[in-house]
Structure 1
Amino acid sequence: MLGRRICHCSITRSFRVHARGLASSAYTDPTRGKDESVTSTPADITPEQRKNLEGALRVDQAGEIAANWIYHGQHFILRRDRKTGLLIQDMWDQEKKHLAVMDKLQLQHAVRPTLLTDVAKVAGFGLGAVTALMSKEAAMACTEAVETVIGEHYEDQLKELDEMDTKHPSIPLLKDVIREFRDDELEHLDIAVENHSQRAPAHALLSAVVGAGCMVAIELCKRV
């Protein structure tokens, strides 16, 4: 399970941040706004690789939209609980940054956004709010399940990108961004477990339902 790799990923991320800064800063630092790695897309990849790249970024953008609205729904219900509200706000703030970067990647690589954007917003808010109404532990169980699927999804994307034969600088940067975001999502998973996600009533069933829903959403957003 990816969740068991949390500590390793967190340590790796801390070293990476100290050594050379976050990869996503390429999209948030105005001084890098003219770099080829953030302004253009590779022309030397096959049609199949282009299709895979567009599908990956379409799903990533949709996933970050959904994640933002899940945390929005959780925060709406639990914001008055000082500890839990602050935890959710911190994770939500990180997801806002992820979405801002994914929006820029979508434009850079000329990727059509999913047609299910509004569905992702409504479903995300509903999932976050309903699980938060169930209990704090259920909200954390939702986070655990969602971040497990997203972490595994990012890991699969990295393997696909490793097979992409191109000299364009945007692809190594994209891989670094995905690694960074994967580590962030696994950190959220770790936070959920530390805050008693596995004490939620019917934890196994809730995790299975939420996880299955996420996997279906991923496949739909690739195509629609």
Structure 2
Amino acid sequence: MIDQFIRVNQAGETAAVTIYKGQMAILGRQTPELKTLLAHMRDQEMVHLELMDQLIVDFKVRPTLLQPLAAVGGYMLGVTSALLGVKSAMTCTEAVETRIGGHYDDQLRDLYQLKYKELDELKGTIAKCRDEELEHLDTAVENGSQLAPLYKLQFELIKGGCGVAIWLCERI
């Protein structure tokens, strides 16, 4: 179980970093405020990825074989959502962070049932990442995610795609 958690989290944080890089490639020149906002979220995701990379080493976990696909897929999702406009980019963030926040909650629930003191640091790391992902969700909503064209369709497609990616990365 721990291996699956760390494996999928590393892939997810890889995708998150590249989503923001893709969005910045398209939207990063629009306004200084938008560039700062995207850079801030990307930088937090980079810290999360560094934490997961360290957990891969500490727990001796084999990364998912889909790691390169997580990077490319994340970038493509970031670029595509940004090409649809700022509000669609924010819809992407809201959908991803909704799914990931729930995913981290599920992991924490499972970890707290184990009651091993040795897992306290892992629990803290996952909780920190979850809390910051939920901040990104709030930021997306505050920046008009729900005003995007075809909002519900975009939201559900991206959230569903994240669910499939999570399932695959846990196993492969």
TM-score when scaled to structure 2? 0.97
Is residue 62 from structure 1 mapped to residue 14 from structure 2 by the alignment? Answer: no
Paired position in structure 1 for 2:148: 200
Paired position in structure 2 for 1:156: 106
TM-align CA RMSD:
0.8
Alignment of 1:156-175 (within 5 A): 156-168=106-118, 171-175=119-123
1:88 to 32, 38, 47: 38
**Count of aligned pairs:** 171
Is residue 221 from structure 1 mapped to residue 147 from structure 2 by the alignment? Answer: no
Structure 2 CA distance for aligned equivalents of residues 73 and 172 of structure 1: 34
Paired position in structure 1 for 2:79: 129
1:121 partner amino acid? A
**Structure 1 segments unaligned to the other structure (5+ residues):** 1-51
Larger-Rg structure: 1
2:4 partner amino acid? G
Which structure has more helix as a fraction of its residues?
2
CA offsets, 1:175-201, max 9 Å, x none? Answer: 111111111000000000000000100
Paired position in structure 2 for 1:143: 93
TM-score when scaled to structure 1? 0.75
**Structure 2 segments unaligned to the other structure (5+ residues):** none
> Which shows bigger deviation, 131-140 or 76-85?
76-85
Paired position in structure 1 for 2:127: 179
1:210 to 158, 167, 172: 158
1:215 partner amino acid? G
Q: CA deviation at 1:58?
A: 0.3
Q: CA deviation at 1:165?
A: 4.0
